[in-house]
Amino acid sequence: MASLVITVGVFTLVLLLANVLKEVLPLLVNRQLGFGTVAQAIGLLIPFVWVFALPMGMLTATLLIFGRMSADQELIAVRASGISLLSLISPVLLLSVALCVLSAWVNMEIGPRCRVAYNSLRNKIMLEFSNVVLPEGRFIKDFPGYLFLIGKNRNYNLEDVKVYKIGGETNAGYLIYARRGRLETDVPHKKMLLYLYDAKGLGGWSGAGDLIIPLNLPTARSDWKPRIDDMTFIQLREQLREFERLSNTPIPLGHLTTNQIVERKKELAKQSRDMTSQVRFQIHRQVAFSFACFGFTLVGIPLGIRMHRRETNIGIGIALVLVAVYYSFIVVGQSLDARPECAPHLIVWLPNFVFQAVGAVLLWRANRGV
């Protein structure tokens, strides 16, 4: 149990760093986020990374413990005491089954919901801060029709602001300069207001005084609707029924010729099969992932005994190889999720069958001393 907690914690930390360093930590370093928001983001990511950390941790812990027991001759002592290998590993197998139940809950409900909540939080943060905190000393081309150059930016209080209004075919551009400015955002309305004080213009704008420039915030990141791979098991089942219902709904074809009607029906049927296949793949992927802990345990126990090594790096290396083999099937199925003729929803079950079958054979041989 101690090794399991440590290995799951290590893999959780490694998988978290990949997301935190990429998306959250830069905002914290730039003082755009507080520690409370960062802690909330990390908390929402933990159940999502447990989808992968739990099986990987169980496999690594199994390899390390049984490899060390084999290297220290403890298994020989146990067998000499009249205890069979199957009796010895029964608690470990029961623990793997319990982890399968926990993985099912995480994969099918908790993980997708936390991932959606994290994406919503991230999109909200990006909507507030992407292109909003205007960096100093470089040209900013993120807003259509404008080019900005900011001398200093002190918590939205700007100094030495230059705004270049890019002209079109019928009008010329112009330059606005202001010694002071201020930036305000209105996230609900996706607007940003740039206040310029004592502004002076050159070119097409000859006014002077205070000026307000309204800008639109990016809207591409404001759609927080969960994707198919971020849906819970229940949501996926509802989506599958909806696609099946739509595929059986008659569609008016208007005044089309017979050949056009046939082609249109084939096209709609293909689109319906592709969408249904993608949803069905996600359903089977969530369920198949839940059995990874058991398959990894069946393979890890005899491999740990055969390794006869107590080094931690050897166990971790073998665990990473086995994880790569297991998830390669998932990657192949993911690449074929829009091709129902390849049955991608069945491909995700292959690693479970292979690992459990191979593990059962190896355990039987190890129990007989082969």
What mean pLDDT comes out for the span 162-169? 74
Torsion of CA 95, 97, 98, 99, to 10 degrees: 90
Distance, CA of 198 to CA of 133 (rounded, Å): 22
For residue 83, give every residue at least 6 positions away whose Cβ sits within 8 Å of its Cβ, in sequence order, or none: none
CB 217 within 8 A of CB 127: yes
- Banded pLDDT at 222 (limits 50, 70, 90): very low
Q: Tens of pLDDT along 93-144? A: 999 999 999 999 999 999 888 888 887 777 666 655 544 556 676 677 767 7
Q: Tens of pLDDT along 315-332? A: 778 888 888 898 888 888
pLDDT of residue 99: 93
b/e map 221-260, b = 16+ CB within 10 Å: eeeeebeebbbbbebbeebbeebeeeeeeeeeeeeeeeee
Q: What angle do CA 164, 165, 171 make, to 5 degrees?
A: 140
Residue 285 burial (10 A CB sphere; 0-12, 13-18, 19+) = buried
- Banded pLDDT at 220 (limits 50, 70, 90): very low
- Banded pLDDT at 223 (limits 50, 70, 90): very low
Highest-confidence segment of 20-29, 60-69, 272-281: 60-69
Residue 185 CA, chain-centre distance (Å), reads 29
